[in-house]
Structure 1
Amino acid sequence: MAGWVVLVVLVAVVIAAVVSSRRGKERALAQRQAELEPVRKLAFEDITALGEELQSLDLDLAGRPLDAGANSDYQRALDAYESAKTAAQHLTQPDDIRHVTEILEDGRYAMACVRARVDGEPLPTRRPPCFFDPRHGLSVAEVSWAPAGGAPRDVPACALDAERVRAGAEPDVRQVMVGAQRVPYWQGGRAYQPYAAGYFGRTGVMDMMFMGMMFGGLGGLGGFDAMGDGLGALGDGIGDGLGDIGDGIGDIGDGIGDAFGDIGDMFDF
């Protein structure tokens, strides 16, 4: 009969382990989905913006002849738009948006090349997009700018934002939703880091631009917030794990109790 007791205990342990594993996977899946949805929305907003720019370019080019180079660049921009849509439809995790924004950045540069060719100007230098909102297109200059509570750094800016910053006005910043609050995309948390990396990663100066911000390391307030979120998640995981262990022990106790009940029945004359 002792063998039955051991078997019951082992079964209870296995059941507790399976339940704990399943709950952990469900929590991880829910967290990934919660992080992915706002990033997916951001991707489609940027794709829509590129589509509107392509429509505007098409109107500007109406009736104007395009040489082979302009045609090639125009087709490259159209292909980028379609490729970005396809990539966004297959996003499965926040990191995947980096590929989307890399495509969008290339498409906008191709559009700038079309305009230059049609206007008979030299091809533009491959500069990074506007730091404040990559949808503004290629930057035209570096400006010294400091985030709230942060150190000044040189960032690439479009013509309008460069003028605003130099005049002491606020630039037109890309905002994202975090809960019920709209914040600059660099304060959106680490889920938005790949978004920025796709636009700025090829320049090699991304770390300098975003240093001390929410996803730029632990040098600023945002970094400590992110660390606090991680510790909070760790605490939740430990608490859930202990709860699962408690449930498992309870199941084991029930199994042992049932087993001893069976033993008592055997000796009940």
Structure 2
Amino acid sequence: MTGWVVLLVLVALAAAAGVVVVRRRRAERLAAADALRRVTAVAEEDVTRFGEELQELHVETLVTDLDAPMRQDYQRALDAYEAAKDLLRDVQQPADVKGVTRSLEDGRHAMACVLARQADEPLPQRLSPCFFNPAHGPSTTEVAWAPPGGIERDVPVCRADAERLAAGADPDTRMVRRDGAMVPWYDGGAAYRPYVSGYYGNAAAQGLFPAVFLGAVLAGPALGTAGHDLEGGGYDGSGFDGGGFDGGGFDGGF
């Protein structure tokens, strides 16, 4: 009789464990699907915005004589836009979004080159996109800035945001959805790391972008939390694993 009791208990425990596993896997699938929807929606918004800005640029080019370098930059911007649209259509998992935003970063630099040539200004360097919103295009300077409760650091910003900050105004920050609320992209959590990687990965690998902020997205906790620690991210207060990206590098692990 005791043997049957033990057997029944074991069967019950196995069934309970099976239910837990099924529920956990279902929760993981739902979380993965939600992350895919959120990061894809943000990338889609950026593609649409870039397309609208290219359309405005096209209208300007109708009344501007384009020399060969301007035409090349303009064509590069158009090609990047088409590539971003194609990659967006093919997104199957969050990691695929990285290619979309990488194409947008290239296209925005090309468009900035067209505008600089039109204004007879020096061509923009291939610097990090504006920290507050990558849709602002390449950064033009660095400013000292700190998130609420965080450490002040120099961040790359576009001209418009630099002027806003100098005037005491808030920067035009890219907002994303997290837990039902809109938050700055750097507080968006790990779901947005492919989106961030495409925009800032190359610049971070070259030391042109503060790795600590990307580490915050990688690890998940809100950047504005005072005294936060990036568990598992190796953040020691000076950078990401001593100031760089270790092991597989930014592209490999982000």
What band does the TM-score fall into relative to the shorter chain? 0.7 to 0.9
**What is aligned with 2:110?**
110
* Residue 186 of structure 2 is aligned to residue 182 of structure 1: no
How many Å separate the matches in 1 of 2:152 and 2:21? Answer: 47
AA matched with 2:211: M
Structure 1 gap segments, 5+ residues each: 1-10, 228-269
**What is aligned with 1:198?**
198
**What is aligned with 1:150?**
150
Matched ranges for 1:123-134 at <5 A: 123-134=123-134
How many Å separate the matches in 1 of 2:71 and 2:48? Answer: 22
User: Which has the higher mean CA deviation after the structures are superposed, 36-45 or 59-68?
Assistant: 59-68
The answer on whether the counterparts of 2:150 and 2:226 sit within 8 Å (CA) in structure 1 is no
How many Å separate the matches in 2 of 1:34 and 1:119? Answer: 44
Secondary structure in 1 aligned to 2:168?
coil
Provide, for residues 61-83 of structure 1, a one-character-per-residue CA deviation record: whole Å limited to 9, x for no partner: 11322222222221111111111
Alpha-carbon spacing, 1:107–1:214, altered in 2? closer, same or farther (3 Å): closer
AA matched with 1:28: E
**What is aligned with 1:238?**
none
Provide, for residues 162-211 of structure 1, a one-character-per-residue CA deviation record: whole Å limited to 9, x for no partner: 11222332111111122331110111111112222211111124443517
**What is aligned with 1:208?**
211
Give 1:217 deviation, angstroms: 7.2
Relative to its length, the structure with more helix (as a share) is: 1
User: Which has the higher mean CA deviation after the structures are superposed, 80-89 or 210-219?
Assistant: 210-219
Secondary structure in 2 aligned to 1:221?
coil
The answer on whether the counterparts of 1:212 and 1:222 sit within 8 Å (CA) in structure 2 is no
The answer on whether the counterparts of 2:47 and 2:81 sit within 8 Å (CA) in structure 1 is yes
The answer on whether the counterparts of 1:142 and 1:154 sit within 8 Å (CA) in structure 2 is yes
The answer on whether the counterparts of 2:40 and 2:97 sit within 8 Å (CA) in structure 1 is yes
**What is aligned with 1:40?**
40
Alpha-carbon spacing, 1:23–1:80, altered in 2? closer, same or farther (3 Å): same
Comparing both chains, which one has the higher relative contact order based on Cα–Cα distances under 8 Å and sequence gaps of 6 or more?
1
Alpha-carbon spacing, 1:76–1:169, altered in 2? closer, same or farther (3 Å): same
How many Å separate the matches in 1 of 2:95 and 2:138? Answer: 23
Alpha-carbon spacing, 1:33–1:83, altered in 2? closer, same or farther (3 Å): same
AA matched with 2:185: Y
The answer on whether the counterparts of 2:129 and 2:199 sit within 8 Å (CA) in structure 1 is yes
How many Å separate the matches in 2 of 1:155 and 1:203? Answer: 12
Alpha-carbon spacing, 1:213–1:148, altered in 2? closer, same or farther (3 Å): farther
Indicate the percent of aligned positions where both proteins have the same amino acid: 47
Highest CA radius of gyration, 1 or 2?
A: 1
Matched ranges for 1:1-269 at <5 A: 23-204=23-204, 205=207, 206-208=209-211, 210=213, 213-215=216-218, 221=225
Give 1:96 deviation, angstroms: 2.2
Give 1:33 deviation, angstroms: 0.2
The answer on whether the counterparts of 1:189 and 1:214 sit within 8 Å (CA) in structure 2 is yes
Give 1:155 deviation, angstroms: 0.7
AA matched with 2:61: L
Provide, for residues 199-243 of structure 1, a one-character-per-residue CA deviation record: whole Å limited to 9, x for no partner: 11111244435177454677873996997xxxxxxxxxxxxxxxx
How many Å separate the matches in 2 of 1:226 and 1:93? Answer: 25
Give 1:18 deviation, angstroms: 7.7
AA matched with 1:221: T
